[in-house]
């Protein structure tokens, strides 16, 4: 097996991949510095592919500022679609398998049944739309790809909901948290493990997959679990989405069905509370 190039290596998932690769002693991963690994620079990418001739590319690079994307449409589209096109073209040219991270935001979130990979996409935000465009451009250029849609990502690394809640819980007496958006948190360490399993097993079950932890919760109940498991004393009040307006609209229901990932990729997926316990145990007190 040749090299495994990681784009977006300094982000949350990139750092989790480095963590899990160390734990598993997985060889071949190259965590590229941002200045060298700009997915919007075709010439630079061509040079990287020529140098490394990678067997796999893991694309963790994305524009993820959901609310800012409503005003920065072109920037979001450049990163989430055009950059993905640049990678896809080169993966096809070099026979490289692309592993790309997408999102539950490709769905409208108006249903009440767990979403399967073939359900109709209907993004309701610029972020969701540009991520869907990235998915679509991949299949135009290559057939050797895995698209992993995930949701509510958190870990010990970078900024995320868990770390934000813990900080606010220490600094404030009371917090108001939305209860009418339902989904599933994803421990980025678990997602990194899934990605490395695909590579280690040399799976050729290409296509789109859903990957989050098991179970379903609201942001309010997620926050309550964070405070319970970390023994943080703070009053939490459940509020409706309408009471906390944001620039971008979020899906109200984005629970994803993981049957396909478990069956075809052979991954075991923990319940979100079990993974949250692990994460909190690894965070500094």
As annotated, the active-site residues are 127
Residue 187: helix, strand or coil by DSSP?
strand
Our CA dihedral for 245, 246, 248, 251, rounded to 10 degrees, sits at -60
CB 90 within 8 A of CB 68: no
Positive or negative torsion for Cα 98, 155, 194, 128: negative
- 236-242, long-range: CB within 8 Å, 24+ apart, which pairs? 236/174, 236/175, 236/176, 236/177, 237/174, 237/175, 237/176, 237/177, 238/176, 238/177, 238/178, 238/179, 239/176, 239/177, 239/178, 239/179, 240/178, 240/179, 240/180, 241/178, 241/180, 241/181
Separation between Cα atoms, residue 17 and residue 89, nearest integer Å: 24
Separation between Cα atoms, residue 174 and residue 55, nearest integer Å: 50
CA 207 to each of CA 8, 97, 199, 241: distance values in angstroms, whole numbers, following the listed order: 21, 11, 14, 33
Helix 219-230 and helix 272-282, axial crossing angle in degrees, nearest 10: 40
């Amino acid at each position: 097996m040749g090299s495994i190039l990681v784009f977006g290596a300094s982000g949350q998932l990139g750092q989790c991949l480095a963590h899990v690769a160390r734990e598993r002693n997985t060889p071949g991963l190259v965590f590229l510095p941002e200045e060298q690994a700009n997915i919007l620079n075709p010439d630079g990418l061509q040079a990287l592919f020529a140098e490394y001739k990678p067997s796999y590319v893991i694309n963790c690079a994305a524009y993820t500022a959901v609310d800012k994307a409503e005003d920065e449409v072109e920037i979001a589209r450049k990163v989430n679609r055009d950059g993905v096109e640049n990678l896809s073209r080169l993966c096809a040219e070099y026979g490289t398998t692309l592993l790309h991270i997408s999102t539950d935001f490709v769905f409208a979130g108006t249903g009440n049944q767990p979403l399967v990979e073939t359900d109709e996409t209907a993004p309701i935000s610029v972020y969701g739309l540009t991520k869907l465009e990235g998915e679509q451009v991949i299949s135009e250029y290559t057939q050797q790809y895995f698209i992993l849609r995930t949701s509510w990502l958190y870990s010990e690394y970078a900024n995320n909901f868990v770390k934000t809640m813990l900080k606010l819980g220490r600094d404030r007496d009371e917090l108001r948290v939305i209860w009418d958006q339902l989904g599933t948190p994803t421990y980025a360490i678990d997602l990194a493990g899934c990605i490395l399993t695909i590579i280690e097993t040399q799976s050729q079950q290409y296509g789109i997959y859903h990957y989050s932890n098991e179970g379903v919760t609201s942001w309010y109940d997620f926050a309550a679990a964070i405070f319970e498991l970390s023994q943080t004393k703070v009053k939490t009040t459940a509020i409706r989405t309408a009471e906390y307006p944001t620039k971008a609209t979020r899906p109200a229901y984005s629970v994803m069905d993981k049957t396909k990932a478990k069956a075809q990729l052979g991954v075991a997926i923990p319940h979100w509370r079990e993974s949250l316990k692990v994460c909190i145990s690894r965070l500094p007190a």
